[in-house]
Chains A and B, each alone.
Chain A
């Protein structure tokens, strides 16, 4: 067998039996460690969760009977579930917009060629390295109605105090502000890396044609960034749909359930309400939502680039 056959993909290579056998054995041997974890800690729980969602399983172990789709029927009639699903979608919409636009603005500013690049990267990205609990402690303290820094600043410029985390009309926005501060640095990095990969010849040619900085941003930078923008929006929507940590830590879903996202409802139904089966059913409704959103994004982006 010549060495050149090594470098051909399987489809064009005539198979020789002992080689093929060895490849089969080797391939699965290399895959096995991952597969074991994959099957035990991903495939099995996904399958078992589906089964649980059809039972009355509870943490008290009272009722393990299979009850078919009763949990799903109950969930679809459960106003609390719809409310939490609505909160998750609301958060996703009002957080994705600033998380993309602020990141783009930050990257555009830094990419103009400002001195001390490391300083900007550090200050914009550093919050992303914090655990959610640290962010929640910081912001709960700053949002404190009487002693907080933000209300102090508001009163100094003659504005009324705001009950940031205790007013149902404001609480979700307070969480969005904390979230933007926390995670926008990630999108900023992705944008900055993409901007720095745009060939400079484009800008040089535009400069010769007399295009100013704004013009160049809108006619070169933005179009060149559009694949990155699409990816960032997709990743951001999927990330925002999973919102739980900062809400649970800052408002525990309150006031009056006004910020409770669906993941928190899953958590509470299962671990505070002890209804594991019902909780698994809501998990699957949430999973269905993620799948639908992902497929929609896939179809939309494919049509776009086709």
Chain B
């Protein structure tokens, strides 16, 4: 029993469980109440950093730097820190930079990965096995190994201090190619055969039959790639020094030294940087959680 590794595929009679797995409802037992209390304690512990950052951000700098820790500041809450951060104008600019670079990375990644994944899944071409092997093997390459030669390459291509330097090296996600291929493999070939008989081209079959059926996996991959790009630090940090091109994570690193001990402004900036993804998560929690569960084991 202890070494059982049978596949966890569900019996076909219970497809509903995949959608919303819910154990049979039982009454609240003592065990469950204990679990609830422990889960709540962890949740509180996990929310404290957010709460403390929020309280700090709404303090005056004097209160924030007061030696006595207070959850309710003596001189009341204020928007001063946020106002100062907005006055500097950096956060909105960096948010926009993060948004369009991440969107471009996601778009390019989706297009090129879906195309090659379709070929690997459906078309029998010479060298396919080799290509598949090379792509799978490349999953092992750790991005930090690439920073030195990539930097040199970007200098040679005159792309340093442009958004392209941030975008282009981030569009290769071999693991996502693999995830997409596995999904395409499961689409019944019969669906494409009629179109083949009608003489439809490969590209037409791909865009009109396969892609529409693949929306869930495309969404999952898009979520994964977008969030990785949005939060990536090391490469964008190296790729540009130009303040007007910085992404949010890199920009925040520079304000740490600029604001120094202005704790309220530090926290206000951090919260503003965190806000977009948290808001998106609140609205699309189901899809995001599902997306990570699908791509997670193959990704990172």
Contact = CB atoms under 8 A, between A and B. Distances in A.
Contacts of B230: 131
| Among A52, A113, A267: residue with most chain B CB under 10 A | A113
Interface of chain B, main secondary structure: helix
Q: Interface size class for chain A?
A: 35 or more
B266 A123 contact: no
A213 B33 CA distance: 13
Contact of A290 (B67, B142, B189): B142
Contact of B141 (A42, A109, A133, A142): A42
A27 B125 contact: yes
B196 interface: yes
Contacts, number: 305
B148 A129 contact: no
B69 interface: yes
B146 A223 contact: no
A130 B293 contact: no
A17 interface: no
Interface of B: 1-5, 8, 10-11, 17, 21-26, 31-32, 35-36, 38-39, 42-43, 46-50, 52-53, 56, 65-67, 69, 108, 111-113, 115-116, 118-120, 123-128, 131, 135, 138, 140-153, 168-169, 171-172, 174, 177, 189-190, 192-193, 196-197, 202, 206, 227, 230-231, 233-234, 238, 248-250, 252-253, 256, 263, 266-267, 269-270, 273-274, 277-278, 281-282, 285, 289, 292-293, 296-297, 300
Given A6-B193, A30-B123, 10 more contacts: A26-B202, A38-B174, A114-B35, A124-B42, A126-B278, A141-B53, A181-B49, A244-B234, A249-B256, A286-B142
21 contacts: A6-B189, A13-B124, A20-B124, A28-B119, A41-B169, A46-B149, A52-B152, A57-B152, A113-B32, A131-B249, A132-B231, A133-B253, A137-B270, A140-B256, A141-B52, A142-B49, A189-B296, A203-B23, A227-B8, A242-B142, A245-B234
